[in-house]
Structure 1
Amino acid sequence: MNPMRALRQYQKVNSHAQISEATPHRLVQMLMEGGLDRMAQAKGALARGDIAEKGLMLGKAIDIIIGLNDGLDAQKSQDPAYIEQLSSLYAYMTNRLMQANIDNDPAIIDEVAQLLITVKSGWDAIADAQPNG
């Protein structure tokens, strides 16, 4: 068996195990991490001139951000206005990544990655503040 294929299979099984054991909070963290990973992969592909791969990775990052947005529920929030702001930010991020894809612009990818890192750091702080983490 090809060692790289074996590693990918292990990673796939390992990620499925992590997902099945994850709390809803951890799943959101994993989605954010996945979005950041896809953006980094898109930048790498762009640097290599692999435009098809760049488009694929940006498409996956956009899908993840749309998924994060779809998971928002203002009715369950103590601060519905905050949820609306976050939803608007996710929409902005999605639009910017589409623009980055069209323009092949790594600076826009960096901008969106920084925004997602900021949101993620706030989300991570929530987990740190909870007693059962």
Structure 2
Amino acid sequence: MAINNPQQVYANNSVTTASPGELTLMLYNGCIKFIRHAERAMADNKIEQKNVNIQKAQAIMRELSVTLKTDTDVAKNMLALYEYLHTRLMEANVKNDPAILNEVEGFVTEFRDTWKQVIQENRRIQQVGAGGRV
């Protein structure tokens, strides 16, 4: 059996042991990372790298969309936002427009930061419910 790259082993373990909320946070972080890579590639006129990274960000937007439970108005609104951002990523790729990437990154960063707060609040509530002090 081949020895795995320690970073890859850690990444695989992080994903397989993460809660659904943590997985969503990882998706947001990954999307931001790929958008930033695409921005750099765009600035350096590396069209293929730009395209690959935007497509990775689009795949994450699709994953966020298909895993979203749309049984509330908030979730339905999030689905519409994900679809809008997916479309904007396509436009950024076709038009080679860093301003559009910046717009999408701003939305995803805001979603990520809000989601992080939700996770932290849920942990705090669980600790209080388990008799812990906060």
Q: For this structure pair, what is the TM-score category when the shorter chain's length is used for normalisation?
A: 0.7 to 0.9
- 2:27 corresponds, among 26, 31, 34, to 31
Residues matched between the structures, number:
123
Q: State the TM-score, normalizing by the size of structure 2.
A: 0.87
Cα distance in 2, alignment partners of residues 66 and 47 from structure 1: 26
Q: Is residue 100 of structure 2 the alignment partner of residue 95 of structure 1?
A: no
Residue in 1 that maps onto 2:97 = 105
Residue in 1 that maps onto 2:69 = 73
Unaligned runs of 5+ in 1: 1-7
SS at match of 2:64: helix
Residue in 1 that maps onto 2:116 = 124
Aligned CA RMSD, in angstroms, stands at 1.7
Cα distance in 1, alignment partners of residues 8 and 41 from structure 2: 22
Which runs of 4 or more aligned residues in structure 1 lie more than 6 Å from their structure 2 counterparts after TM superposition?
A: none
State the structure with more CA Rg.
2
Residue in 2 that maps onto 1:60 = 56
What is the deviation of 1:11? Answer: 2.1
Q: Is residue 6 of structure 2 the alignment partner of residue 10 of structure 1?
A: yes
Cα distance in 2, alignment partners of residues 74 and 87 from structure 1: 8
- 1:83 corresponds, among 75, 82, 86, to 75
Cα distance in 2, alignment partners of residues 10 and 30 from structure 1: 19
Q: Is residue 47 of structure 2 the alignment partner of residue 47 of structure 1?
A: no
Contact 2:70 2:79 (8 Å CA) reproduced: no
What is the deviation of 1:68? Answer: 0.5
Cα distance in 2, alignment partners of residues 68 and 20 from structure 1: 17
Moved more, 117-126 or 84-93: 117-126
Contact 2:92 2:98 (8 Å CA) reproduced: yes
What is the deviation of 1:21? Answer: 1.2
Percent of aligned pairs with the same amino acid: 28
